[in-house]
Amino acid sequence: MLYLKSLLILLFLASLNVLGQENVTLSGTITEESTNETLIGVNVIIPELNTGTITNEYGFYSITIPKGEYTVQVSFIGFKTISDKKNLSKKIILNYKLEESVEGLEEVLIVADSEKLNLRTPQMSVNTLKASTIKDIPVVFGEADVIKAITLLPGVTNAGEGSSGFNVRGGAADQNLILLDEATIYNSSHLFGFFSVFNPDAIKDIKLYKGGIPSRYGGRVSSVLDIYQKEGNSNNFAMNGGIGLISSRLLAEGPIKKEKGSFLFGGRSSYAHLFLPLFDNNNVAYFYDLNTKLSYKLNEKNNIYLSGYFGRDVFKISDSFENTYGNTVLNFRWNHLFNDKLFSNLSVIYSDYFYGLDLNFVEFNWVSGIKNFNVKYDFKHYINNNFKLQYGLNSIYYDFNPGTIDPSSPNSGINEQQLIKKYALENAVYLDAEHQVSDKLTLSYGLRLSSFLRLGQDEVNNYVNDEAVVYNSTFGIYQTANPISTSKYNKSDILKSFANLEPRLAASYRLNNYTSVKASYNRMTQYLHLLSNTTSPTPLDIWTPSGTYVKPQLLDQVALGYFKTFKDNTYSLEVETYFKTIKNRIDYIDGAELVANDAIEQVILNGEARAYGLEFLLKKDKGIFKGWLAYTLSKSEQRTPGNTANEPGINNGNWYNTAYDKTHDISFTGSYDFNKKWNFNANFIVQSGQPTTYPNGQYIYNGISIPSYSTRNENRLPTYHRLDVSAIYTPKPEKKTGYQSSWVFGIYNIYNRYNAASISFGENRMSGVNEATKLSIFGIVPSVTYNFKF
């Protein structure tokens, strides 16, 4: 309540600044000249007043200033800066079209006022990547990859080569909210982690929030990866694509009606499996995905968008086993401008994650998945130049299918079975304020009220004292409890309800024109849990909602940062430290069965987690050499104590390293423009080995050697490191229209390091001696890709 009272006082004081001032409002939309594509994050600066703003996710800006004659400077990296002298005596709409810089980034004028604006904003712990940057980063198989690119940033790792998902500041992969045009993506990987589901040709903007997360986001406790697709070229028809060794892509875009409407269709597919029969291999592994977007400007105040994504992976072993999985999303959005200070967006969203398994050798099929239907309405209110509000609401209905079993033949002997479906409703309202208190101090404060209703299902188990897991003191193990009864409910019934206030607070204090310090605090709640006992997500993992026996996860995170630009804004330095705690992080009893389990509460224990660290990021954004150096020193731990003092819990109730704890993480990314035709890129990565548990002894039982193990995750795999390089050759760099092409030559892991994905221990059948076996995914991997556009 104290935070709520303080929030109301700040809002009242800020509103006083509006009264008695004779101001005018300058607003409009900023687009790219060649395509008419709206641009996100463009700086609109009034240098005479040392103030400015940036465009929102739809290219709209609004700034309120005193009447007078000013210079309007519009700047964005990669585009020519516009300086426009205006006499502002009344409110005015100014739409600008930015022309791409032909000479490269080093020729672009980025005024110092733009950097002051970045230093002043209280937003911290956020990284932005452009699609062009991602395409320059060397990756395995030569396919540009959004997920692999963000793992080069400080505080972001993954479980290693061939692993799905990513981990942020010591959090689990399921604690990341991944949005594509505001729709939730539940599995971000193709082919079990070798590729991401995001087509870089269709991507316009990528932001990763690691902390200080605005209150318009919720539902996950670790990070938000917010990705927006391009809208399409409303001026001219254009196509681009690429042909690689194992996959290719093609994207087409053009006007529905010139400068009013546009379409975008993009597709990718892998085809390495087509060559397997040449080697007498009948197995199959491939993916394909489709991106679509339709945009239309109804009038100056209304725009509508329809965007979609469909992706599938197919993994087949001869005729005995076939696995199909993927995401489907569809989003309709309506932008409405009430006036020059109030912008709104209404979204109606459908998301679906499907997992199918055809087990022909045992003659049955398995299907599971999660669907959600989401309605959200967001407003951005530009009260004045020193005070802006964002507020809105959203409601998400969830449909969980933990598994459907169907016999594939009448003689299979398998009975048709539907595991109990689960349903839930998640609601939220939020308010965010950005308040420039003085020329040096800017605050961002907000509040999110979230609620979660676990709806009725066919059958719910009841247990003694509501304990679905019991401790057997005789054997010293946790066991599933036996239900004492079951209850049946209608889908409209409410089994359990939760409500949580989630305050957010951030502050920026500018020490001078080149230096600022920032601090943030945020609380977040996560009502969904991914059931997985592997180090990285797999397609088979099942999502489950909070309820009677599974509590929502609660995060508290604080962060402190130091930010500086120098050498005429050529370099920037970001240093951040953070500490976060998570309540109700789930863990599993030994021998837990997670698949086809209709009583998942019988294998789950509620614990807690914590993570803390120090992050460094040194960037160079101008010149013929560009890139960054990132270093993270961190710790990520988990603890699951017993329910009573007589229970040991997991790992005797002691803290242990999470599977994604990486003490040291160093990454270097560089890009060098040798000349107009050749560009060279390199990545170098060094990470602490992934935590694991090794045997610390053995004993003989009935002549069999049985290992005994140390405490959980006490050991580590060997240090991970590799060097990747690539060269981009553009035959005709001066050609900016018509058919254009380039070649990308890459070598992943150039010195052929066989990094350990796992180390297993077992008995050698020949010698009878226990030995360790290292599994590695990749050595050196060359690639070549031909890119084109016209």
Q: If pLDDT is split at 50, 70 and 90, which confidence band does 115 have? A: very low
The tens digit of pLDDT for each residue in 131-182 reads 778 888 887 777 788 888 899 999 999 877 767 789 999 999 999 999 999 9
pLDDT at 8: 55
pLDDT at 414: 78
357, HSE (Cβ side, Cα atoms, 13 Å): 16
- Buried-state track 465-496, b at ≥16 Cβ within 10 A, e below 16: eeebbbbeeeeeebebbebeeeeeeeeeeebb
Least confident of 37-51, 99-113, 542-556, 653-667: 99-113
Q: Which two tokens stand for residue 645?
A: 């003092």
Helix (H) or strand (E) holding 648: none
Q: Report the distance separating Cα 227 and Cα 183, nearest Å.
A: 9
**Does the pLDDT of residue 111 top 50, yes or no?**
no
pLDDT at 12: 53
pLDDT at 598: 83
Is residue 762 a contact partner of residue 772, using CB atoms and an 8 Å limit? no
Query: For residue 640, which of 600, 594, 605, 593 has the smallest C-alpha distance?
Result: 605
Q: Which residues make beta-bridge pairs with 322? A: 316, 358
Q: Which residues make beta-bridge pairs with 127? A: 208
DSSP symbol at 138: -
Q: If pLDDT is split at 50, 70 and 90, which confidence band does 18 have? A: very low
Alpha carbon distance, N-terminus to C-terminus of the chain = 59
Query: For residue 538, which of 783, 174, 206, 40 has the smallest C-alpha distance?
Result: 174
Q: What is the mean pLDDT of the chain?
A: 87
pLDDT at 105: 35
Query: For residue 388, which of 62, 126, 76, 120 has the smallest C-alpha distance?
Result: 62
Written as one string, the DSSP assignment of 267-322 is: EEEE-GGGGGGGGT---EEEEEEEEEEEEEEEETTEEEEEEEEEEEEEEEETTTEE
436, HSE (Cβ side, Cα atoms, 13 Å): 20
The tens digit of pLDDT for each residue in 245-291 reads 888 999 999 999 998 999 999 999 998 777 666 666 777 888 999 99
Q: If pLDDT is split at 50, 70 and 90, which confidence band does 10 have? A: low
**Does the pLDDT of residue 21 top 80, yes or no?**
no
Q: Report the distance separating Cα 288 and Cα 294, nearest Å.
A: 21
Chain center to CA of 72: 34
pLDDT at 500: 97
The mean pLDDT of 621-640, rounded to a whole number, is 92
Q: Which residues make beta-bridge pairs with 553? A: 526
Q: Report the distance separating Cα 330 and Cα 336, nearest Å.
A: 20
